A = this chain, B = another copy of it.
Amino acid sequence: MSHNTFGHLFRVTTWGESHGPALGCVVDGCPPGIRFKLEDVQRELDRRKPGQSRFVTQRREPDEVKMLSGVLPDGDDGHLVTTGTPISMLIENVDQRSKDYGDIAQQYRPGHADYAYDVKYGVRDYRGGGRSSARETAARVAAGALARLVVPGLKVRGALIAMGDKEITRANWDWDFVESADNPFFTPDPAAVPVFADYLDGIRKNGSSVGALIEIVAEGVPAGLGAPLYAKLDADIAAGLMSINAVKGVEIGDGFATARMTGEENADEMRGGNDGQPRFLANHAGGILGGISTGQPVVARFAVKPTSSILTPRQSVDRTGKEVDVMTKGRHDPCVGIRAVPIGEAMVSCAIADHYLRHRGQTGRI
């Protein structure tokens, strides 16, 4: 996709830096006539919001969304309705600390985008990572909240399934627990909470960080979304997830495990179902065959690397090429993968909403 826009008919353009006055997005192409409340969007933003437990960054941002265009009040109870014109959403940055950026402005933090941005643009907003900051993902979540409303019956949920070398037990999977108040990890396994908590407390106290694995499951995806060739649904989901900060791997269905499988193990058999639609006996494919949804749940997983903002000094260079040691103080997520759960849901929701409209456009069969 182009620049800071993703999607084709349901198009999201985001803008903003970590320490600028605000960030936001323009959602263009949203169908008209969708009724919702602003709190439907705010709720998703609140899930991603920093400062909600000791396991995420302590930056205090209310992340309150303002909707500046593309909607009209609909009735007296706070409902809005989309008009079909572009929806501009804005979120103010309120807790960007004023401090001396002298060192960070000149030094390249290893594992961060500092050097890459500088070599690309020759100029860089070094305040809090600038455009490469994870704060930008608030805009994605806002857009994703609208995307969820586009496809009738769509339900997109995510869960953290591994952190460092700790994994959940799949047999314990409980979707309801993911959102429970005493679960700071979006994990579906209640038994994993104390394990993750102990582990991450150790990481956090050492000023270290750790990676994570997230799984997104989209139910209610109509069969027929996606298209040959570069418009494959899985290709767009892969691009969307890989475009999230710190993501280094994406897989669909059985993913990398299929490299070890035989054709007998991998193909999802079918039997007669209801409404003329087949009933699948397995879902190794993750709901997508030939790039097109089959009506089964769409399953994607992605790996989030540990943030490179750590207290241990690391070797690096500065803008002049001088060798320096870099240590990243400040407020950071010890496991950025936690808050990646609602972000991943948002990207999958946007990809599905976009393909829903594209499929309807080309075929008229929805």
Most central of A119, A230, A284 by chain B CB within 10 Å: A230
A175 adjacent to chain B (CB < 8 Å): no
Query: Is there contact, CB below 8 Å, between B123 and A72?
Result: yes
Stretch at the interface among A43-51, A53-61, A185-193, A285-293: A285-293
Distance of A295 from chain B, by nearest CB (Å)? 7
A181 adjacent to chain B (CB < 8 Å): no
Residues of B within 8 A of A31 (CB): 362-364
Query: Is there contact, CB below 8 Å, between B364 and A276?
Result: no
Query: Is there contact, CB below 8 Å, between A121 and B32?
Result: yes
C-alpha gap A261/B30 in the complex (Å): 37
C-alpha gap A231/B363 in the complex (Å): 20
Residues of B within 8 A of A87 (CB): 15
Interface string of A197-235 (1 = CB under 8 A from B): 000000100001111110000000001111111111011
A297 adjacent to chain B (CB < 8 Å): no
Residues of B within 8 A of A70 (CB): 15, 17
Residues of B within 8 A of A131 (CB): 69, 83, 85, 228-229
A258 adjacent to chain B (CB < 8 Å): yes
Residues of B within 8 A of A277 (CB): 119
Closest residue on chain B to residue A207 by CB atoms: B263
Within 8 A of B (CB), among A230-269: 230-232, 234-243, 245, 248-269
A24 adjacent to chain B (CB < 8 Å): yes
Query: Is there contact, CB below 8 Å, between A291 and B113?
Result: yes
Distance of A4 from chain B, by nearest CB (Å)? 4
Distance of A292 from chain B, by nearest CB (Å)? 4
C-alpha gap A234/B205 in the complex (Å): 32
User: Which one, B72, B121, B290, contacts A83 given CB within 8 A?
Assistant: B121
User: Which one, B32, B109, B229, B259, contacts A4 given CB within 8 A?
Assistant: B229
User: Which one, B84, B113, B238, contacts A362 given CB within 8 A?
Assistant: B84
Report if A83-B125 is in contact (Cβ < 8 Å); known contacts: A211-B261, A249-B256, A315-B270. yes
Residues of B within 8 A of A212 (CB): 259
A3 adjacent to chain B (CB < 8 Å): yes
Query: Is there contact, CB below 8 Å, between A86 and B15?
Result: yes
Query: Is there contact, CB below 8 Å, between A361 and B248?
Result: no
Query: Is there contact, CB below 8 Å, between A263 and B307?
Result: yes
Residues of B within 8 A of A363 (CB): 31-32, 84, 120-122
A173 adjacent to chain B (CB < 8 Å): no
Residues of B within 8 A of A321 (CB): 272-273, 276, 278
Query: Is there contact, CB below 8 Å, between A235 and B230?
Result: no
Closest residue on chain B to residue A354 by CB atoms: B361
Closest residue on chain B to residue A276 by CB atoms: B321
Residues of B within 8 A of A36 (CB): none
Closest residue on chain B to residue A304 by CB atoms: B259
A8 adjacent to chain B (CB < 8 Å): yes
A349 adjacent to chain B (CB < 8 Å): no
Residues of B within 8 A of A122 (CB): 32-33, 363, 365
Report if A285-B69 is in contact (Cβ < 8 Å); known contacts: A230-B239, A263-B308, A272-B321. no
